Amino acid sequence: NARALLLLLLLPLLLLLLSACAAASSGTVVANELHEGEALSLLVYLGDAGAATTRPSLVWQGDALTYREPFETTVQLEVPVPQGVRADNGTAVLSALLVKQGSRSATSRYALALTQHMAQKQPLRNLLREAEATPEQRAEAAQVVPHWKPKITLLLLVDHSAFLKEVMPPFLTPAANSKYAPPVLMTDAYLLSTDYIPVNSSTDKLPLELTIKFVTTAQFGWQLQVSQSLVKQKQWGFSNKDTDDVKRIMLESHPVLFYLVAVISLIHIVFDLLAFKNDIAFWRTVDSLEGISVRSVVLNSLFRVVIFLYLLDNGTSMLVLAPAGAATVIDFWKISRCFRNTSSRRPAAQQQQGGQQQGECDSVKVSAEADATAFWLMSVLLVPAVIGYTAWSLVYGRHAGWYSWLLSSLTSVVYACGFALMTPQLFINYKLKTVKHLPWRALVYKAINTFIDDLFAFIIKMPTMHRLSCFRDDIVFIVYMYQRYLYSSHTPMEPAATESKKSN
């Protein structure tokens, strides 16, 4: 029986091996049409995508290049901007042609848009000292104009391997003579959008840094995958800032770390969904406000609105806005659950019978008193700091407008007061000597995401206040865990007994 089971397990592998051998014996072998050490010429042209009748101009020509890897060179150019791009907001196109030396036909070619249409950056000003922009200036700043990409990388595949036509890499195209032309790839993956140069009617020439590399199949496939991923991100609604974050990780980190961040991001999304699910499940079953900081729930909802408006004002992508909006809706739903429990508790309290119901009502009362006390103490400490910061930002800071100043100030207050928002819940746990009222499953999922955010805080560029808020949440969760350990063997303290001890 064991031999039969082993044969049954190995049979699919044997069949797969036999089919691969049969395909190898009957398949078509495709080889590179270029030989190692062959002399090549590389021609780079610049043209206007909207001017079909205008011939592209030659901006660089590399002769006597040797088809051998590794090879890398960087060329600094000063190229004329096409008339259609300057006057009609057209799109500049950079084309590369690979030609065998002495031949007139191109072996490989590739084209890339050298300009991207974007709105210009809103000018910042001091709201108290500088005059407001005129309607003409605001209209000019809101215009969408071409932005020049001053740095392009050109990659040429160098590989002398022969492939079966049926299993060759997807970026290789076999010709009728069982040969393939080594592909060329131009990419702007090493350029951040903050480095783009706006183009206007008076712009005659602009700089262009062209880097030419001869790479292996693995390197070419990696760069092609990155370029296609960046294009997909644009199609999915990612903003330039989001794409720059990805590029910055790719530029400043090892490729292994890049893939690790991608996997961790996927895990972060999964735990976000699990936290939402368990948070909703917990609040659907809440029938008492015992041990719950209602003020924290209300303020957290208001803070969510501020962060959502701040993200919306900064043009954040829908992939970030959608979870923030969903969290805002859930928080306001929590408020409705809190007020429903508050209103339904009053008539019930008049008909309570038995010590257990009376004890529960007293626990709710102690929770509300502890919540109010904690918030009053934190308000005394933080309100002067908040007023001082907003005043300092107004006097010395630069903003796009009053709305932008208000949102940025409120967002900074949210990040700074997040710790204060969590403190009343810790105080309530201390007064009741129990943590059984907390949604621990949802808290654990959020805590895991917080530790993931700690990793992102070192890798992804973000505001300093947001980076500090990640470590702030770690401290609060550690205190939660300590309280869980400390009060695990305790029964909830009865408020009546507590007050009798105080009176004695």
CB 311 within 8 A of CB 324: yes
Query: So what's the pLDDT on residue 159?
Result: 87
Copy the structure tokens of residue 403.
Answer: 């709305």
Query: So what's the pLDDT on residue 95?
Result: 92
Query: So what's the pLDDT on residue 501?
Result: 42
CB 315 within 8 A of CB 121: no
d(CA 199, CA 16) in angstroms, rounded, equals: 57
Residue matched to tokens 């002399």: 39
- 13 contact partners, CB below 8 Å, separation of at least 6: none
- 71 contact partners, CB below 8 Å, separation of at least 6: 65, 158, 212, 213, 214
179-180 and 29-32 beta bridge pairing: parallel
Whole-angstrom distance between the N-terminal and C-terminal Cα of the chain? 80
Which 3 state secondary structure label does DSSP give 364? Answer: helix
Q: Which helix (H) or strand (E) holds 93?
A: strand 92-100
- 245 contact partners, CB below 8 Å, separation of at least 6: 460, 461
DSSP 271-336: HHHHHHHHHHHHHHS----TT--HHHHHHHHHHHHHHHHHHHHTT--HHHHHHHHHHHHHHHHHHH
* pLDDT tens-digit series, residues 175-189: 777 888 889 999 998
**Phi and psi angles of residue 487, each rounded to the nearest 5 degrees, phi first:** -100, 10
- Series of mean pLDDT values for 10-residue runs along the chain (504 residues): 49 60 62 86 89 82 85 91 85 90 79 86 78 70 83 91 80 80 89 88 90 90 85 76 77 73 77 80 74 74 82 66 81 82 49 47 68 74 79 84 81 66 71 73 72 68 60 74 74 43 40
Q: Quick one: 108 exposed, middle or buried, by C-beta within 10 A (0-12, 13-18, 19+)?
A: buried
- Helix H, strand E, coil C: the string for 435-492 is CCCCCHHHHHHHHHHHHHHHHHHHHCCCCHHHHHHHHHHHHHHHHHHHHHHHCCCCCC
Say how far residue 201 (Cα) sits from the centre of its chain: 35
Q: How far is CA 111 from CA 63, 85, 96, 441, in A?
A: 20, 17, 6, 52
- 428 contact partners, CB below 8 Å, separation of at least 6: 291, 292, 293, 367, 370, 371, 374
- Written as one letter, the residue type at 25 is S
Mean pLDDT, all residues of the chain:
76
d(CA 219, CA 183) in angstroms, rounded, equals: 13
Query: So what's the pLDDT on residue 60?
Result: 92
Which 3 state secondary structure label does DSSP give 189? Answer: coil
Query: So what's the pLDDT on residue 2?
Result: 44
CB 46 within 8 A of CB 61: no
CB 408 within 8 A of CB 347: no
Which 3 state secondary structure label does DSSP give 422? Answer: helix
